[in-house]
Amino acid sequence: MPVPVSAPVPSGRRRALRILLAGLVVAGCAVLLASRVEGPRLLLALQRADWTLVLVAALANLGLNLAVRSERWRVLLLRLPQASEPMATVPLSRGRLWWLYLAHLAANNLLPARAGEALRVVVLSRSAGLSVSGLVAVLLVEKGVETLSMGVVAALLLALFSPPAALVGTLRWMLGLGLFCLALAFVLVGFSGRAEAVSGRVRAFVRSLLSALRLLHSSRLWGAALVYSWLSLAIDVAMIGLCLSSVGVSLPIVDWLFVFLALNLAIALPATPGQVGVMEAGAVIALSLLGVAGSDALAFALLYHAAHILPTTVLGIPALLRLRRAASGASA
């Protein structure tokens, strides 16, 4: 008896499902925040906020953090072989990658499912002659190194400090994710040695992906990527400290690290564009475990989130438009 094949879900229905899911997540976060936040106290905290500290945090993210992340991306990309076609002549310059990274952040902030990641792959595959499988491999390594760097920090916090009991689970989850990424990297690289054995049209991409991962298997390369990830982590943690201070919340630096890890665990899955609502709920829960009132925690979260997404979106939209014009000109 033949097995029935389900019809593919139409794109319009998928879009509706994504919108419904995002709406449910935002509604759930709103209910959680409403139960923990006092409106008048939140408004007072925002009115009294030191906006100079928020501006410094935003500039640190737009300048230092963006430069560090785009440079990490560039270091990984340089290991990939470029195609030999005449069109593949666009260099991987720091300035161009900085603008492309900015455009991808704006796309992530405005569109669901972190669409900016696909943007990076499409643009460089067309303009720099890099294979799609190689670019996807770079993204996987990039995310793996980020998770591993946070796992190392979680391990140090568990070993050297006494975190609140309610945060121990978060730290263990982050440590577990870091170890998982490290183990997965060894498994994939080991399997890449037998990439030629993978056959079939459907599996051709997998074979190319494994071959690209093998090119990125270098202790020096991973070490450099980890250093860049820890620099980015340090900048992000400093931003947390600045935004906490801007609303009058004083916590030790080690608690900034706890908040950073908790936030990254909360936004691990792309539930809403720009993680709107999810980051705020994660911050309120994490800070409440550290004894911070819900209204002050939400004030911090709003300012910290704004320092991340507003500058990158405002400056990233022109970059997106420029990419669109370039694509239209190439297709004309």
In this prediction, residue 250 carries a pLDDT of 95
Distance CA(161)–CA(157), nearest Å, equals: 5
Containing domain of residue 75, as a range?
39-80+89-320
Q: Tell me the H-state helices in 248-293.
A: 253-266, 278-289
> 104 lies in a domain?
yes
pLDDT tens sequence for the chain (332 residues): 333 433 334 456 766 776 676 677 777 877 878 788 888 999 999 999 999 999 999 999 999 999 999 999 999 998 887 654 444 445 678 888 999 999 999 999 998 778 899 999 999 988 888 888 889 889 988 998 999 999 999 999 999 988 877 788 888 999 898 888 878 877 776 665 555 555 555 466 676 777 777 778 788 898 999 999 999 999 999 999 999 999 999 999 999 999 999 999 888 877 788 888 889 999 999 999 999 999 999 999 999 999 999 999 999 999 898 888 877 766 55
Q: What are phi and psi of 248, to 5 degrees?
A: 80, 20
CA atoms within 13 A on the CB side of 329: 7
| Other C-beta atoms lying within 10 Å of the C-beta of residue 5 | 6
> 13 lies in a domain?
no
Structure tokens at 57: 């945090």
> 183 lies in a domain?
yes
- Integer angstrom CA distances of residue 83 from 88, 128, 129, 130, 185: 6, 8, 5, 6, 26
Contact 62, 112 (CB under 8 A): no
Q: Whats the size of the chain, residue-wise?
A: 332
In this prediction, residue 62 carries a pLDDT of 94
> 212 lies in a domain?
yes
> 291 lies in a domain?
yes
Q: Which helix (H) or strand (E) holds 149?
A: helix 132-160
Q: Tell me the H-state helices in 161-199.
A: 165-192
Print burial letters for 58-93: b (CB count within 10 Å at least 16), e (below 16): bebbbebbbbbbbbbbbebbebbebeeeeeeeeebe
Chain position carrying tokens 């916090």: 157
> 143 lies in a domain?
yes
> 71 lies in a domain?
yes
Number of structural domains (the chain) is: 1
Contact 210, 195 (CB under 8 A): yes
Structure tokens at 286: 């994490």
Structure tokens at 316: 């990233």
Distance CA(153)–CA(41), nearest Å, equals: 34
> 18 lies in a domain?
no
In this prediction, residue 114 carries a pLDDT of 85
Contact 279, 309 (CB under 8 A): no
Contact 64, 256 (CB under 8 A): no
Contact 134, 80 (CB under 8 A): yes
Distance CA(55)–CA(205), nearest Å, equals: 44
Q: Phi-psi bin for 171: left (phi > 0), alpha (psi -120 to 50), beta? A: alpha
